Amino acid sequence: MASESFEPALTCVLAQEGGYSDHPADPGGATMMGITQGTLAEWRGNAVTKADVRALSRTEVAEIYRKRYWDSVHGDQLPAGLDLAVFDFAVNSGVSRAVRSLQRVLGVAADGRVGPETLQAVAICDPGEMVTRLSALRLAFLEALSTFPVFGRGWTRRVREVEAEARKLVSALSVTPARLPSTTKELAPMDITKGILTSRTVWANAIGIGALALSWLGFDTSGLDKGALTDSLLQALAGVSFVASTMFRILATKRLDSRDETSGLIGEPRLTVLYASGVDHGFSVETPASWYMCAR
């Protein structure tokens, strides 16, 4: 997992730890955001008071959590979800116990240190299954503690909530990316027909085949300029298409004008037939694109 996962994981842990507490049944004594008086003294290298614990800043707490817990369990090298489960376990019950429990569910030697063998096992594991098994092992350990009758309800809730959050992170990485829609445009039959009729290649081939057939019948086609003939045919086709489209427009407009007069509607938007122009090899062919109408 990337190093930027630490801050979200820390936020989750701090939500579980809460603020300052000094419960008489808690062997850790005075605690602020999960940092006990003893842990703070070790971190600073000198004795601290309860007032020092209470005055802890989030910045210093984050530094302690990263160096003493996150880095110790190699959080940056654990997959999403499993990193949170191991990290919170380490904060709550100690790094060594959390790592040994992780190694047990992975099936490697439980020496309490994250080394190459552990990381190799992590790389091929199912993170979701590991989160479930690790959470069960963690809860079993807590239930065996003598203080479970006092803190058991809160510990159980914490394990379940962290497990649920960890599984969400695992699921987020397992989502298959949405398939992008195809950008290929499907041509309508009219577009295909128009493309064939206005293709220089098609007509050149047709003229070539015709010339070959004439030569077989005994006609002399050696002086035939196939290129010029192709251009002439295409120009003729363009002219016929232009005349046809113009006549179609005139007839359609007259029909609409007649409909407006008989309907008695005044001030309504005029309708006109939608046309499309196609350009191929230097000449313009204007043909009706659709029988549908749109407001002008």
User: Can you name the CATH fold of 3-174?
Assistant: Chitosanase, subunit A; domain 1 (1.20.141)
Closest CA to 13 of 96, 103, 73, 54: 73
Hey, what amino acid is at 150?
Answer: V
Instruction: Tell me the C-alpha distance between 277 and 288, whole Å.
Output: 9
What is the per-residue pLDDT for 26? 81
Supply the pTM of this predicted model. Answer: 0.58
What is the per-residue pLDDT for 279? 40
Mean pLDDT on 100-122: 96
Please report where in the chains the tokens 């003493």 appear, as a residue.
Answer: 68
Closest CA to 151 of 14, 284, 23: 23
DSSP letter at 179?
A: P
What is the per-residue pLDDT for 25? 81
What is the per-residue pLDDT for 144? 96
Instruction: Tell me the C-alpha distance between 184 and 161, whole Å.
Output: 47
pLDDT category of residue 23 using cuts at 50, 70 and 90: confident
What is the per-residue pLDDT for 242? 60
Decide: 267 and 227 in contact? Cβ < 8 Å.
no
Instruction: Please tell me the least confidently modeled range out of 68-72, 102-106, 199-203.
Output: 199-203
Domain with CATH 1.20.141.10 in the chain: 3-174
Residue 52: phi and psi, rounded to 5, are -65, -40
Instruction: Tell me the C-alpha distance between 272 and 253, whole Å.
Output: 7
Instruction: Tell me the C-alpha distance between 162 and 43, whole Å.
Output: 26
* More confident: 201 or 281: 201
Decide: 117 and 39 in contact? Cβ < 8 Å.
no
Decide: 106 and 121 in contact? Cβ < 8 Å.
yes
Mean pLDDT on 244-261: 61
Q: How many CA atoms lie within 13 A of 238 on its CB side?
A: 18
Ranges of beta strands (E only) in the chain are: 20-21, 31-32, 35-36, 271-280, 283-295
pLDDT category of residue 276 using cuts at 50, 70 and 90: very low
Mean pLDDT on 15-32: 89
What is the per-residue pLDDT for 182? 46
Across the beta sheet with 20-21, what order do the strands follow?
A: 20-21, 31-32, 35-36
Compute the Cα dihedral for 288, 289, 290, 292 and give only its sign.
negative
**How many CB atoms lie under 10 A from the CB of residue 249?**
15
DSSP reduced 3-state for 205: helix
Helix and strand element counts for the chain (H, E): 12, 5
Instruction: Tell me the C-alpha distance between 34 and 64, whole Å.
Output: 10
pLDDT 10s digits, 27-53: 888 999 999 999 999 999 999 999 999
State the chain's mean pLDDT as an integer.
77
How would you classify residue 214: left for phi > 0, otherwise alpha for psi between -120 and 50, otherwise beta? Answer: alpha
What is the per-residue pLDDT for 254? 62
pLDDT 10s digits, 54-86: 999 999 999 999 999 999 999 999 999 999 999
Instruction: Please tell me the least confidently modeled range out of 137-141, 169-173, 236-240, 271-275.
Output: 271-275
**How many CB atoms lie under 10 A from the CB of residue 250?**
10
Decide: 272 and 294 in contact? Cβ < 8 Å.
yes
* More confident: 296 or 256: 256
Helix axes 82-93, 127-143, angle to 10 degrees: 20
Q: Which two tokens stand for residue 16?
A: 């579980």
